[in-house]
Amino acid sequence: MHKHLIFDASIGSQKPNSLINANTSCPFCDRESLTDLLDTDGPIIWLKNKYPTLENTYQTVIIETDECHLELSEYDKDHLYKVISFGLKHWKEMITSNKYKSVIFFKNHGPQSGGSIRHPHMQIVGLENINYLETMKDEHFVGVSIDKKNGIEFNISKFPRMGFFEFNVIMEDEKGLKTFAEDIQIAAHYILNHFHKNCNSYNLFFYELNGKVAVKIIPRFSTSPLYVGYSIPQVSNRIDSVVEKINKLYF
């Protein structure tokens, strides 16, 4: 069976893009016009994706906040915990429904991330024919430790999926949810403020990992041609200095 998703270009061409055109009206700010709502928690809204560009999938969006120009790295702690908890809850609901081959949960932020809307949001997508777990390896989450407490491991990958830097946060169980959310926020804040002067984008990718939950926070630049052409990841020789800097700034 093929491992490709089919992208519907006719739907894709209709999508608004506030990252390219700042004058584009934000569909997530016009909350009165939102349809197909699935659940809410105050300003957090889960709804069906109005532009389901991927065939043989069930696409949903989590609008994280009613403040368009806020960003996950800036959330106060209570809202941060609510957003992460809300997303994990509905991701797991879709997994346990057994309607899909697998369910992916991710976030795009910034012009290099592959996203199109500036307003903070995440996506949960049920895949009918593809199991993303088949491409995962445990080594992708093995890394140089930044911090480890409350059942949460925060590290930088020694063997990244794509490269060069991939931050991992791994949660044994949800007793450590607050630390899990805080480490995700630290990684996002570091990427946008201290990592590289030209970095304005990142992705979050959530994974099921041997009974645990893991997330990768990946700074986004132009993708390495070695990865594009040959699927060969690269890893930086500066991991230790980044670990040292994060510990000095945040711990």
CATH at residue 98: 3.30.428.10
Residue 81 and residue 35 share a domain: yes
Rounded to whole angstroms, what are the CA distances from 94 to 60, 89, 103, 124, 202?
11, 9, 7, 9, 25
| pLDDT for the residue 85 | 98
- Mean pLDDT on 209-220: 96
| pLDDT for the residue 2 | 65
Mean pLDDT of the chain: 93
Q: Per-residue pLDDT tens for 162-201?
A: 989 999 999 999 999 999 999 999 999 999 999 988 899 9
Domain range holding 162? Answer: 136-250
Res 13 pLDDT > 90:
no
Where a domain ends, among 113, 133, 153?
133
Angle, helix 177-190 to helix 239-250, in steps of 10 degrees: 110
| pLDDT for the residue 212 | 97
In a domain, 1, yes or no: no
In a domain, 4, yes or no: no
Residue 190's contacts (CB-CB under 8 Å, 6 or more residues apart) are: 245, 246, 249, 250
- Low-confidence winner among 22-26, 162-166, 211-215 (lowest mean pLDDT): 22-26
pLDDT above 90 covers what percent of the chain? 82
Where a domain ends, among 133, 151, 172?
133
| pLDDT for the residue 197 | 85
Residue 118 and residue 140 share a domain: no
| pLDDT for the residue 117 | 87
Q: Per-residue pLDDT tens for 100-145?
A: 999 999 999 988 888 888 899 999 999 999 999 999 999 999 999 9
Closest CA to 121 of 86, 95, 151, 147: 86
In a domain, 2, yes or no: no
Residue 237 and residue 196 share a domain: yes
φ/ψ (deg, to 5) at 137: -130, 140
Where a domain ends, among 104, 133, 162?
133
Residue 125 and residue 13 share a domain: yes
Q: Based on the structure, what is the number of domains in the chain?
A: 2
Residue 129 and residue 140 share a domain: no
241 burial type by CB count under 10 A (0-12 exposed, 13-18 middle, 19+ buried): exposed
Residue 93 and residue 23 share a domain: yes
Closest CA to 160 of 139, 186, 181, 187: 139
Q: Per-residue pLDDT tens for 64-95?
A: 999 999 999 999 999 999 999 999 999 999 99
